[in-house]
Structure 1
Amino acid sequence: MIATIGLAIGIVFLAELGDKSQLMALTFALRYRWWVVLGGITAATASVHVLSVAIGHFLGAALPTTAIAWVAAVTFLAVGVWTLRELAGDDGAEPAPPRFATAAPFFVVLSAFLLAELGDRTMFATAALATDNNWAAVWLGSTIGMVAADALAIGAGILLGKHLPERAIGFGSGLLFLFIGALTAVNTAVPALGLGAAIGIAAAAPAAAGAALWWLHSRREIRETPVTSTDTSDIEGRRVGGQP
């Protein structure tokens, strides 16, 4: 059993390095306290992996992964758009947290990771491991492996959050959610597409959003720039006094 736990930890940890779940963990760590993010990830991971080992060990069934992936993609895109919309509409002061961030943070993280991990490659890996190994050991090891990988991303988010203003964190979070949603949609629509190509296509969404925000900000600055006028009364006064 110990060997199975170690095997599951190693496989899942390596599979999660560079995966979208780490990017999500970093994004949430910019918005919420680290223990809330870690708790939500742990609960979501434990729940999803219970389902995956049950599928692999007991049922041998499959989930409607395509439908779940589309729901996850739409959810992430909606959160990204909502975040950027509320931040872009303020008057330049430090923005209040967007509405999704004022909800119970634990449940926000939990639901997001549940959607993201259902049908993810990690779920298939744990299901495959559970077919030939002790299901409890696979569940425990896979949960530990994923939480450990995402904890690295949370640490990166904490470090970034200490050196970035609230506005930058808000815009960065919105753009990252757009990228995650677009990447999920691209991988779902064209599963045979390579990772590099999928990332390149998905990056168009936050790039377009960033360009639109920059344009809106530029127009606002132009409108708010005061028009300087020449004080003619002073000039006329100097002319009356004989000065040129």
Structure 2
Amino acid sequence: MEAFLVSTGIVALAEMGDKTQLLSLVLAARFRRPWPIIAGIFVATVFNHAAAGALGAWITNLAGPDVMRWVLGISFLAMAVWTLIPDKLDDEDTKAPRLGVFGATVVAFFLAEMGDKTQIATVALAARYDAIVGVVLGTTLGMMLANAPVVLLGDKVTKKVPIRVIHVIAAAIFAVLGVVALISG
């Protein structure tokens, strides 16, 4: 349960102001059909984070506990710094193939999430916790908590949420996890 709750909270906070959240806003403005967009975000996130979680579990099995402690500690500290750097949406992330609203969202969101901080966080969380299902469910819920309101409410949400404060909180959580990983052992 801890893996699920920590994963949900970290990803929901880390996603605020992230390029995939900006992509959600662009898709909502472009297509004006929120439910296929939300469904597409969900499907893309499940596949992306399941792959990331599997990678994290594989890395855990490959490396010994001492190596993993250092890798995780440094990874979480790096995530803390990365979270403080605002994302910008690339023009290529807004181009949608002719697959309909749902298909365009799945493709765009899956590709935008590749190598993104929430995907890297999923790898690290899956490596940290021996609960891949809990991590993937949690990170997916975190993505949905951050992106569904943006799709449904559009720029009303982004104007009222203090993005910088949320980034600092998320960075602090990553930093605490990094320090705890480095000193535990």
Name the TM tier (shorter chain): 0.5 to 0.7
Structure 1 equivalent of residue 43 of structure 2: 43
Say if 1:29 and 1:158, in contact at 8 Å, map to a contact too: no
Q: Secondary structure at the match of 1:18?
A: coil
Instruction: Render the CA deviation track for 1:1-31: whole Å, top value 9, x for unaligned.
Output: x221111000000000111111111111123
In the TM superposition, residue 35 of structure 1 has moved relative to its aligned partner by 0.5
In the TM superposition, residue 58 of structure 1 has moved relative to its aligned partner by 1.5
Structure 1 equivalent of residue 9 of structure 2: 10
Whole-angstrom CA distance in 2 between matches of 1:25 and 1:6: 23
- Between structure 1 and structure 2, the one with the greater Rg is 1
Change (3 A) 1:22 1:73: closer
In the TM superposition, residue 103 of structure 1 has moved relative to its aligned partner by 3.9
In the TM superposition, residue 40 of structure 1 has moved relative to its aligned partner by 0.4
Say if 1:34 and 1:154, in contact at 8 Å, map to a contact too: yes
Structure 1 equivalent of residue 25 of structure 2: 26
Q: 2:112 aligns with which of 116, 119, 123?
A: 116
1:150 aligns with 2:147: yes
Instruction: Render the CA deviation track for 1:109-143: whole Å, top value 9, x for unaligned.
Output: 10001110011011111111111211110000000
1:76 aligns with 2:72: no
In the TM superposition, residue 158 of structure 1 has moved relative to its aligned partner by 8.0
Structure 2 equivalent of residue 233 of structure 1: none
- The letter for the 2-side match of 1:48 is N
Say if 2:93 and 2:112, in contact at 8 Å, map to a contact too: no
Higher relative contact order (CA 8 A, sep 6+): 2
- The letter for the 2-side match of 1:50 is A
Aligned pairs, number: 128
Identity of aligned residues (%): 36
Say if 1:129 and 1:138, in contact at 8 Å, map to a contact too: yes
Q: TM-score, normalised by structure 2?
A: 0.62
Whole-angstrom CA distance in 1 between matches of 2:98 and 2:114: 25
Q: Secondary structure at the match of 1:29?
A: helix
Change (3 A) 1:158 1:15: closer
Change (3 A) 1:135 1:74: same
- The letter for the 2-side match of 1:131 is A
Whole-angstrom CA distance in 1 between matches of 2:51 and 2:151: 25
Whole-angstrom CA distance in 1 between matches of 2:39 and 2:139: 16
Q: Secondary structure at the match of 1:9?
A: helix
Say if 2:23 and 2:93, in contact at 8 Å, map to a contact too: no
1:137 aligns with 2:116: no
- The letter for the 1-side match of 2:46 is A
Moved over 6 A (4+): none
Whole-angstrom CA distance in 2 between matches of 1:114 and 1:155: 20
Q: TM-score, normalised by structure 1?
A: 0.48
Listed as ranges, the gaps of 5+ residues in structure 1 are: 62-71, 80-99, 161-244
- The letter for the 2-side match of 1:117 is E
